Structure 1
Amino acid sequence: MKYLFYIYLIIIISSILSCAKQSAPLGGPKDEDKPELVSIDPENESINTKPSIIVLEFNEYVRTETPNKLILITPRINKDDIEVTANRNKVTINLNQELEDSTTYVFNFQKSIKDITEGNVPENLRLVFSTGPTIDSLTANGQVSFNFPQNTKVIEDVLVGLYTLDDTTNVFTGPPYYVAQTDSTGQFTIKNLKQGKYLAFAWQDNNNNNKAEDKTEPYSFIIDTINLESDITGLNFILDKSDLSPFKIQRTATIGQNFEITTTKAAVNIEIQHEDLGKDLFYVAKEKSIRFYHQTLRNDSTTVRIQLADSAGIQIDSTLYLKFQESDRKKDTPIPSFGYAKTFIKNIEAQILFNKPIADINYDSLFVKYDTINNVQITPQMLSFEDSLQRTSLSLLIPIPDSVASDSFTLYIGDSTFMDVEGEWTDKKYENTYTKINPETLAEEIKVSVNTEERPLIIQILNKKDEIIRQEYLENTNTTTFKNIEAGTYIIRAIVDKNKNKRWDTSNYLDKRYAEPIYFLTNPENPEPYDTIVRGGWTLEVTIEPRKGPGVTPLKEKKPQ
């Protein structure tokens, strides 16, 4: 009997817990209706109220989803102290903090509240109230876009924030005073703003922490102070990544009989000063390291000046002692790899990349094969090092006689063809195949113009792998012509090289410098608006239109009629 009592007790407790648990009912038609707000306390647009608790009541059972992250609250309050609970059809927000006097607060609930059946979200759920006698009503709106085409056509998780001019935080250190989320097209409006002076930022908040991670998240800023005295429009942001973390030499060490420095970030510009550079002293730059090789110096050190710059323009200027010593450590073997395109029209343009500086070449085992018997012997006149200070990138221009009927050619590197500066030879053969193209399958020319007076310009044609296949640097004109382009789909763009270093440079907030402008050839009517299709025999003439840069674009005044 006592045993049956315990069984009944367990059944009763389980039934009670089952009834108490808030869960979606099983079966029935799919619920597509959005929860409707029945009441809210305090009421929307209330004045002279300073609530400690906010209660929302809906017409159905609801649940919350990461509310402390998804609810946008302006002005900024301590969201970590907030407690949000859902019980049946009510959501209760315990603020656990004192609100400021005479301040308009906005709670934008976004997707933090959903019904328990299908996760439907209330439409435009927003609460505005003031702790003073008036509600601030100024607005700021504008547009956010990306510097480079994105994989998705909609813009997601992008926030726009305003920081007061006297704020000790910024977009990298804390949440903004006012914040809003863009729609899927990048448009935004920040409402219920107070008059004042602000700094404006936008960023893709992938981790929902209401601030930008400069190493991993694209962001943008407006250099000028926003003086908000009336409604403002035309705030424009262009997002890209710019790592502003410290750039410094992290470690120096002798490795074998060589010397290596390691940096905290990759260097995009390297300048080294030493009297032996390019003669006995060479270097190889990798992502975050530079290794030095000296052909004669052993058990001694030498002084070298190193000037480095990262992608954001942050610089290192240092004098180092490079120590070289004898070592029994096994030396690395030189290993070639192949760059450039694998097709050609008349001459093979090849590139051979090495992991170590090259000191000597055995031309007897370097040639192009086009059948089992015949080949084209490569001579010293056909090749050159792209950088004599590193000697790790070799360019080859190999003419193919018109009398050769084959359309397939193999660049052959035999065993012991290349010797590096440490006296090590390649230890096996390497081959790479190149295909001769029928000129009739090529587009005759693409004439590209950029509708701007800005100079210099870098005009680039990229394939769908984002590889640059053609490039021209224009200093005195805005037009160039590319001939003999393979049929395919391409992206055509123009870079305004403001600092004339012949590459694109990202933004640097610390230096108050915008990224160099990039303009893309687009066709909004295409499913893929950045794509340009090229066919054999075509002649194209296209114009790249500049786009609005970051900053504030004032409204054009209407002319009196």
Structure 2
Amino acid sequence: MRKKYSHYLWTIAIAILLVQCAKRGSPSGGPIDETPPEILRAFPDNYTVNFTNQKIEITFDEYIKLKDLQKQLVISPPLKNRPLIRPQGGVSKKLTIEITDTLLENTTYVLNFGQSIVDNTEGNPYPFFKYVFSTGSYIDSLKLSGSISDALNNKADDFVNVMLYEVDSAYTDSVIYKETPRYVVNTLDSLTTFTMENLKAGTYRLVALKEKSSNLKFDPQGDKIGFISEPITVPTDEIYNIQMYEPIQDKALRRATHVGQSRIQIGYYGELDSLNVEPLDKSLISESRITKLEKTDTLEYWYKPVIEQDSLVLLASYGSFQDTLTARLKENLDVDSLSVQKYGQFKLSSPLQLNANTPIADINPLLMDLIDKDSVPQDFGIRLDSLKNVMTYSFNVQPEQRYNLRLLPGAVTDFYGYTNDTITSVYTTKAASDLGNIPVTLEGGSQFPVIIQIVTEKLDVVASITASKNDTYNFEYLDPNNYYIRVIYDSNNNGRYDPGNWLLNRQPEKVVYYPELIPLQANWDYITTVKLE
């Protein structure tokens, strides 16, 4: 019995030992690799002079792959054809660069890979690797530094190309539309500063582009631009700031599309809101109206009578601008009928508005009534914005109130003679205690007028006042939210922000945000003073 019991003890001891060994032997995976790949050798060596090779090989200590190479790789001066670079879509311990262009003589080239070279296991980047070589006997070593900001917005874009164009006997302002720059660097996705290295002495124009096409040429229809107004001379110790802006596009027509039985949409570029449109053959149309689609550069041309032919040639003009365009007329399109509806958001700080889907031709206030929740009639006035096709009601709006607006048949008549059916709309306002106020006091200003705006974190404008002197300006009945105060120095006194113009060498109007995000709460007055320049 004792021997049998001893046997059981040995069996249990061995089982426990095996379990413990199994636990100690379980793999843990080890620590995460956070070390970027390292370069073992390069051929030719980095910073080689008298460079004549067409192929460059760089060997790393581990397998690497390329990430976002098209966005990260910046070559300066730009090459007409980008080099063939491997590995693409695979992994290797060797980075191979095959140059397919003829290189310029006595020129320093920089291939900046950004953070596109990463290890295969954890994706650790080799930070901002540059391969530099010169086809001459020395490496250019001058530098230029600066920063990027946005003229209107409070944050700069990422992946901005900063470029230098050589100012010589062949230089013209059109170079940014036609030619690639002498030098280029990209701010990538995390920086608003830049340093251009390996420059040669000379005189340059400093330009920055946020591009859609990535061809290093300025396209006014899709690119943001910023520039320094005067040519700069390298070497220099000055730190430059480039303000980016979206340019106003040159005036041009895009297309004319027949979309309703007697309605044509006209797309345009530039400032053509007040475009005048008429048929080339004036006998075809007895009457017409123009309205604008909201948030798009598109006008709607309404006409009568209905035209029974294949096309309509239109003459468009605005000031010195003139152009013709042809609309292909379609068959069996729907007839546009009048429909009146609410427009915008009614509240204590925003008026009551209505719009229609056909042009409003006549308004009869006698066929409208507006009463509050106690059935008390309200005196009101109406203003029609013919281009936006919006009716705005003005009356004494009170907090914590309900208003009933009724339009009887015939209150609104549209361009085609149609009238509305009975329309009833209900509008309510919040209590003043549910809202906040931002009184803004201006001090120290010598440049007027300025436009004071209250904007959200997404930079949507919720209130705007044009100020002509130092004073206190009240922004009342604002919804609780986080806001910025934005001040636009309206230098040409046209009531809006104006961007710059490259060909006129004009910088954008100055815009300043003060001073930090405002956490406006209900029943608060956030009193602030803005010191103008």
Task: Bin the TM-score by the shorter chain.
Answer: 0.7 to 0.9
Separation of aligned partners in 2, 1:254 and 1:155: 37
CA distance, structure 2, for counterparts of residue 471 and residue 390 of structure 1: 21
Q: Identity of counterpart residues, as a percentage?
A: 23
1:285 aligns with 2:296: no
Task: Measure, in 2, the Cα distance between the counterparts of 1:466 and 1:522.
Answer: 15
* 2:176 aligned with 1:176: no
Q: Are the aligned partners of 1:62 and 1:115 in contact in 2 as well (CA < 8 Å)?
A: yes
2:82 matched to 1:89? Answer: no
Q: Which runs of 5+ in 2 are unaligned?
A: 1-27, 279-286
Equivalent of 1:186, from 192, 204, 208? Answer: 192
Sort the Cα spacing of 1:164 and 1:452 in 2 relative to 1 into closer, same or farther, 3 A. Answer: farther
Q: CA deviation at 1:332?
A: 2.0
CA 442–77 in structure 1, closer or farther in 2 if over 3 Å, else same: closer
Distance in structure 2 (CA, Å) of the matches to 1:88 and 1:465: 43
Residue identity opposite 1:358 in structure 2: I
**C-alpha displacement of 1:355:** 3.0
Q: TM-score, normalised by structure 2?
A: 0.76
User: Counterpart of 2:36?
Assistant: 34
SS of the residue 1:97 aligns to = coil
| Alpha-carbon distance, 1:412 to partner | 3.6
Structure 1 position 125, deviation (Å): 1.6
Tell me by how many angstroms 1:140 deviates: 0.9
> In 2, Cα distance between the equivalents of 1:143 and 1:195?
21
Residue equivalent to 1:397: 394
2-structure distance, mates of 1:304, 1:61: 64
**1:206 shift after superposition:** 5.8
- Verify the 8 A CA contact 1:203 1:219 in the aligned structure 2: yes
CA distance in 1, matches of 2:261, 2:100: 62
Equivalent of residue 235 in structure 1, options 233, 240, 260: 240
SS of alignment partner, residue 82 of structure 2: helix
CA RMSD of aligned residues (A): 4.1
Q: Distance in 2 between matches of 1:268 and 1:490?
A: 32
The whole-number CA distance in structure 2 between the counterparts of 1:39 and 1:261 is 63
Shift of 1:147: 2.9
Aligned in 2, Cα 1:63/1:467: closer, same or farther, shift over 3 Å? closer
User: 1:357 touches 1:421 (CA, 8 Å); kept in 2?
Assistant: yes
Answer yes or no: is 1:200 the counterpart of 2:206: yes
Between the aligned partners of 1:472 and 1:377, the Cα distance in structure 2 is 31
Q: In the alignment, what sits opposite 2:145?
A: 141
Q: TM-score, normalised by structure 1?
A: 0.73
1:129 aligns with 2:133: yes
Structure 2 equivalent of residue 106 of structure 1: 110
- State the one-letter code of the partner of 2:508: A
What are the Cα deviations for residues 474-494 of structure 1, in whole angstroms up to 9, with x where unaligned?
A: 3x4244411533352322211
Pick the aligned partner of 2:478 from 483, 486, 497.
Answer: 486
On the 8 A contact 2:381/2:393 being kept in 1, the answer is yes
Give 1:142 shift. Answer: 0.6
Aligned length: 484
Report if the CA contact (8 A) 2:453-2:463 is conserved: yes
Mapped partners of 2:387, 2:249: distance in 1: 28
- How many Å separate the matches in 1 of 2:224 and 2:161? 11
Distance across 2 between alignment mates of 1:360 and 1:316: 31
Deviations 1:335-389 (A, max 9, x none): 33434542228xx832222333323345465333544xx534466xx223244x5
Q: Distance in 1 between matches of 2:54 and 2:68?
A: 20
**5+ long unaligned stretches in structure 1:** 1-25, 275-279, 309-314, 524-529, 547-561
The answer as to whether partners of 1:202 and 1:239 remain within 8 angstroms in 2 is yes
Do the aligned partners of residues 386 and 417 (structure 1) sit closer, same or farther apart at CA in structure 2, a change above 3 Å counting? closer
Once the two structures are TM-superposed, the CA of residue 255 in structure 1 deviates from its matched residue by: 6.5
1:227-270 deviations in Å (ceiling 9; x for gaps) = 32x13432211223226466136448796456x46243364641
Aligned to 2:523: 536
Q: 1:57–1:90: 8 Å Cα contact kept in structure 2?
A: yes
Three-state SS of the structure 1 residue aligned to 2:203 is strand
**Equivalent residue for 2:489, pick from 496, 517, 530:** 496
Structure 1, 209-218 or 233-242: larger mean CA deviation: 209-218
Partner secondary structure for residue 192 of structure 1: strand
Q: Is the 1:70–1:208 contact (alpha carbons within 8 Å) kept by the matching residues of 2? A: no
SS in 2 for 1:522: strand
Aligned: 1:344 with 2:348: yes
How many angstroms apart in 2 are the aligned matches of 1:111 and 1:406? Answer: 57
